Amino acid sequence: MPMTDRLALLVSWTVCGGCYMAGGEEPVIEESGLSESGDGGSSGSSSGPVPAGRDIIEDNGFKIYWEHYEVWEQGACTRIRLKNEGREVRGWEMTVELSEDVTSWLDSGGAFMWLVDDQIFVEQEDYSAFDTWESVEMYYCAEPAVRIDDATVTFREGATDDGWAGDGSDAADDASTFAGEVSYTTEGGFPVVWSYAAYNVADYTCMDVDLENGSEVALEVISFTAQMSHTTSYVDYQGGAPIDESSSLLTFLFDSGSVAEPGARVSGRVCMTPLARPVELLDVVVRPAM
């Protein structure tokens, strides 16, 4: 075959590569499997999980799975699954840190949820046991479609060798949640010991606070300031009162005339919802008793 004819035949094969001609039928081109969106997914849908809208967070023996299961232009519905991979607990609470403030709260379910700006405080709806490997699911719908950046889980511990203290009795409801003690020297050079113990009651958590006088003179105890783990509302108090009824700082003013002799202490109580833990003692104000 002459060279010119061979070149013409080669060009015709190249141009029609991928085509099938038979009996004068139109060429059939196999589809690539890509949608019109060009990314292999369906186009035109505004709902369903999105890659940026899901994550897994681990804290304190728990795993928190979350995802946006429905999204729209202004917001999203978010599903949360809390899985206990530690020991059996009761009265769990969770603080969810969001990527930005929520401006519109539309719906929620599965647990008690309380929104404050860029945080959601979640509480178990009852104080039943939450067993190892057990999971609980909840959801919320809000605007905008914020991410969950972090989550912290706390819980009540009240187990004895035979099970939970009181097994649901009043004693179990007063099971200690957490306690601590801090030695502190005031600006005036007076040593004190600040201690606290928190308990769950029916609707909130109460924290008993003692200030022990470690000096050699009688002291009038004025106040203390503690940084709490997050913002909470102080709903009841005894032996004094907090300056702010809702804050992440707890400045507690003791009743006038609260005097502690050397080695003695003064006491107060503050109840809050949701539960918040002291993370740092910032200040104690005392003065020599007159």
Count of residues for the chain?
290
Q: Which residues of 183-192 are buried (b: 16+ CB within 10 A; e: fewer)?
A: ebebeeebeb
Same domain, 235 and 136: no
Q: What is the pLDDT of residue 180?
A: 85
274: CB partners within 8 A, 6+ apart: 93, 95, 114, 121, 123, 205, 232
Of 122, 156, 190, which marks where a domain is finished?
Answer: 156
Same domain, 193 and 140: no
Same domain, 141 and 75: yes
Full-prediction pTM beyond 0.85?
A: no
Q: What are phi and psi of 263, to 5 degrees?
A: 85, -10
Same domain, 211 and 277: yes
Nearest one of 214, 211, 188, 216 to 269, comparing CA atoms: 211
Per-residue pLDDT of the chain (290 residues; tens, 9 = 90+): 554 444 444 444 344 443 333 333 333 323 333 233 333 333 333 444 444 689 999 988 899 999 999 999 999 999 999 999 888 887 788 899 999 999 999 999 888 888 888 999 888 777 678 888 999 999 999 999 999 999 988 876 544 333 333 333 333 343 446 788 899 999 999 999 999 988 777 667 889 999 999 999 999 999 999 999 888 899 889 999 999 999 999 999 999 999 999 999 999 999 998 888 888 999 999 999 98
Does residue 231 sit within a domain?
A: yes
DSSP per-residue codes, 72-101: -SS-EEEEEEEEE-SS-EEEEEEEEEESS-
Q: Which residues of 35-51 are buried (b: 16+ CB within 10 A; e: fewer)?
A: eeeeeeeeeeeeeeeee
Does residue 166 sit within a domain?
A: no
Does residue 38 sit within a domain?
A: no
Same domain, 130 and 184: no
Q: Measured between alpha carbons, how far is 176 from 164 in angstroms, rounded to an integer?
A: 12
Same domain, 211 and 116: no
Q: For the chain, how big is the Rg over CA atoms in Å?
A: 32
Q: What is the pLDDT of residue 155?
A: 74
CATH number at 188 reads 2.60.40.290
76-84 and 62-71 beta bridge pairing? antiparallel
Same domain, 214 and 265: yes
Of 121, 156, 191, which marks where a domain is finished?
Answer: 156
Q: Containing domain of residue 87, as a range? A: 54-156
Same domain, 123 and 195: no
Total number of domains constituting the chain:
2
Q: What is the pLDDT of residue 20?
A: 33
Q: Measured between alpha carbons, how far is 149 from 241 in angstroms, rounded to an integer?
A: 34
